[in-house]
Structure 1
């Protein structure tokens, strides 16, 4: 559970820095928005930053549920790279695609990475591998199935989500995790 707790520690540290900087009006230094070139560091910092204590607590709980299960199958370095990579990709997708659908949004939080960890668990286990091997689906069919599964996973959160929740980030995170789990990207065996 070491990498999960380290990730949670970084999230709490960034939250504390956010609060401190918020006192002088600089909490926005962590927010990912477009154009990305204006503040490129936010691609990473936004993964660990959160909009409120409730937001942070919800994501921390979800991380504590799925993180240790993925962590047992990989190295600390791979775990952290996966969290940063999928979280950043989910955030960039949210601000890029969300901007196409309406005003350019801003994004904060580790939920895209948490959805990726959950997707990894769903597609990267023995039962799923057995089912996929028996079905003998083509790569394209599996890709499409993962896309549908990501949409369904995201839709389940959309029904209870507060306004402004990064649903595109959730879907992209889940999709990345499903694909990574299927190919065993993090497995060290």
Structure 2
């Protein structure tokens, strides 16, 4: 069974769009990824600078079309990961029942990292519940900086930041399994 990850930013043309396209190549199988923006205008292509970051990693960005965050996005996701704390706040104001599944991406990584290993469990749901129990304040770990209109250097820095966070996310959501016993 795959875990549905939903990435959220402002316009769904830079950070969340990048994360949606990049995550499958970093996380591998077992994850379904989507994205949206809390203030998105539907139907826009990805920002050219962030699209260039995906192309540099061998990923085609052309199929992306921006979407506004809706109820189905939040309700159907096993984990909603926003790029900034204000995105998280907006989502929780609209859908407060999702509080245990909505984090900023840096917040989720920091919260899961701070969870004692024995409490992480062996399933995606176990890790998400444990991260919620041990969550750190979203503002304490910062946001993923918005590269929009800031040039290629900002886009490159954003891509590297997201890559690092996605690698950590994959490590945290794929807990090690006990070693198999050798055949007798």
Q: Which has the higher strand share?
A: 2
Q: Which has the higher helix share?
A: 1
Q: The TM-score by the shorter chain falls in which range?
A: under 0.3
**TM superposition score normalised by structure 1:** 0.25
Greater RCO, 1 or 2 (C-alpha within 8 Å, sep 6+): 1
**TM superposition score normalised by structure 2:** 0.25
